[in-house]
Amino acid sequence: MTDFIIKKLKYDLSSNAGLTLVGQFLKRTESNKRVDHAFPLAGKGIINGDISKSHLGLLVQGKNDFDAIEALEAMSSVFCSPLD
């Protein structure tokens, strides 16, 4: 697993740059396992760990609702790969 060096830059990064750091944090804390264990899925559907990861990814980008996911659905591999 890659360690990141966090330092202040002279320029601004895009909002997507934070996805990589948040993705590493989620891996180290095993958040999907914890969420899925605390809130198991009853029946068929999207597991709660994926929902929480998607919502957190939107918040990192400065978006606050799931309607924003529809715009990113076509680019799902670009959006989800930093968080996996």
Residues 6+ apart with CB under 8 A from 16: 61, 82
Q: Each residue of 10-25: pLDDT tens digit?
A: 887 776 777 878 888 8
- Domain ranges in the chain are 17-80
Residue 43, Ramachandran bin (φ over 0: left; ψ between -120 and 50: alpha; else beta): left
In three-state secondary structure terms, 19 is helix
Q: Each residue of 22-36: pLDDT tens digit?
A: 888 888 888 888 888
pTM, 2 dp: 0.59
